[in-house]
Amino acid sequence: MTTNTQSALLKEDQGVQKRLNYLEKERSFLKSLYSDLPETMQLLAKGAPLGSMLGRFKTKIEDQLASTYCLFLVCDKDCLQWRLQYPDSINEKLLNGIGQLTEIPQSLVTFAASPSCPKRMDSDIQQSTGWSIWQTFLEHNGFIHVSMVSVSDEKGSIYLMLSFQKENSKLESELMDVTLDMYLSLVSAAFERERANFLLLEDSHKSPDTGLLRRYSFENSFGIILKDSRRHFQRAALMSIRLLDEQKINSAELKALADVMRESVRDNDLIAHYDERELVMGIRIQHLVDAEVVANKLLDSLQKDEFSNNRLIRSGIAIGIAFYPEHSSLDALHQAAAHAASSLKKTTGYHIEFHGKFHKSSSDLYS
């Protein structure tokens, strides 16, 4: 065997060994990266608090990228307001005298403002004009390269993780890339779960047909209004709205009625789908006439031509009104308002219950 052949075989063996060493390193790295994934997925499935999950991801990424320095930031969707998520002795050098993060590299702003590109790697950042505003920080810590990932929470905030590396401990780009993908997926999953939690909570409190509160949610919320009214010597009114249409209820027509009801009151007033053919409204008032104003506004709105083909609305509604403190509990208020609505028989309009009597107008209450 010639010397050249031996040399070639030796180089080939060295190349194979180098490749095997890298594959072993890669295998160990990936094994560590995914080792606690089942536990993490279980925590996400159980709806663990968002803050605790983000903290868990921070610890995981710092352990995985032990040779790097990880910086966690949050900014608004316009990239104008920035803050550190986890201040420490290294990143506090980026803060001004009153603890605010006000100087942001242009390269970082550009990256945060580009949601279609959630990952990026910059090299030789000490020499880059896009990072010059942090040059002192970078030089002091010996940071040469940075890998970045951004995730929007879909509520107006962007969460960013920056992994700074020194030249003598730079991680292979393939391993860094898969780590960024992992972090991106986990944080996105946490935000998605948070949105799901909100939707589940909304669904449990509101009727899917109308978007109005369910009965038990109304009872809880209106109970708070009564407590506040009691504490501050204020008035409140409960209105029982009975549907006069006796045919099978059409969901789309009911939704249209619910939308009109929402437009008739303030945002902090309560509306609920109480029973199949009954809706209720709980409102804060200053004067007895205020509830009558709401009833008239609702009835007038239902006369619009746009509802000419809505059978449920055209069949009419009967409104009963009762007041607190004349009735001191929700049950008493509802019973009085329901009786007032029933007293209308099959007639569209409203009746006011006051001290056991039914009235057509608030002007009659003291006559």
> Comparing 14-28, 207-221, 316-330, which segment has the lowest mean pLDDT?
14-28
**With bands split at pLDDT 50, 70 and 90, how would you rate the model's confidence at 367?**
low
What confidence score (pLDDT) does residue 106 get?
97
Asked whether the predicted pLDDT for residue 305 surpasses 80, the reply is yes
Specify the domain boundaries for CATH 3.30.70.270 within the chain.
Answer: 215-364
What confidence score (pLDDT) does residue 209 get?
75
What confidence score (pLDDT) does residue 204 get?
65
What confidence score (pLDDT) does residue 172 get?
87
Asked whether the predicted pLDDT for residue 3 surpasses 90, the reply is no
> Comparing 9-13, 292-296, 345-349, which segment has the lowest mean pLDDT?
9-13
Asked whether the predicted pLDDT for residue 208 surpasses 80, the reply is no
> Comparing 56-70, 96-110, 202-216, 225-239, which segment has the lowest mean pLDDT?
202-216
Which of the pair, 303 or 208, is modelled with greater confidence?
Answer: 303
% of the chain beyond a pLDDT of 90: 59
What confidence score (pLDDT) does residue 117 get?
93
- For residues 351 and 363, what is the distance between their CA atoms, to the nearest angstrom? 12
Q: Which of 217, 216, 206 is nearest to 258 (CA)?
A: 206
* Mean pLDDT value across residues 75-83: 93
Asked whether the predicted pLDDT for residue 1 surpasses 60, the reply is no
Asked whether the predicted pLDDT for residue 221 surpasses 60, the reply is yes
Specify the domain boundaries for CATH 3.30.450.40 within the chain.
Answer: 36-202
Question: Which CATH fold would you assign to the domain 36-202?
Answer: Beta-Lactamase (3.30.450)
What confidence score (pLDDT) does residue 2 get?
65
> Across all residues in the chain, what is the average pLDDT?
89
Q: For 129-180, write each residue's pLDDT tens digit.
A: 999 999 999 999 999 999 999 999 988 899 999 999 998 888 888 999 999 9
* Mean pLDDT value across residues 110-120: 94
CA distances from 344 to 34, 251, 257, 319, 367 (A): 68, 25, 19, 8, 21
Just give the CATH number of 215-364: 3.30.70.270
* Mean pLDDT value across residues 279-290: 93
Burial per residue of 30-67, b for 16 or more beta-carbon CB atoms within 10 angstroms, e otherwise: eeebeeeeeebeebbeeeeeeeebbebbbebbbebbee
% of the chain beyond a pLDDT of 70: 92
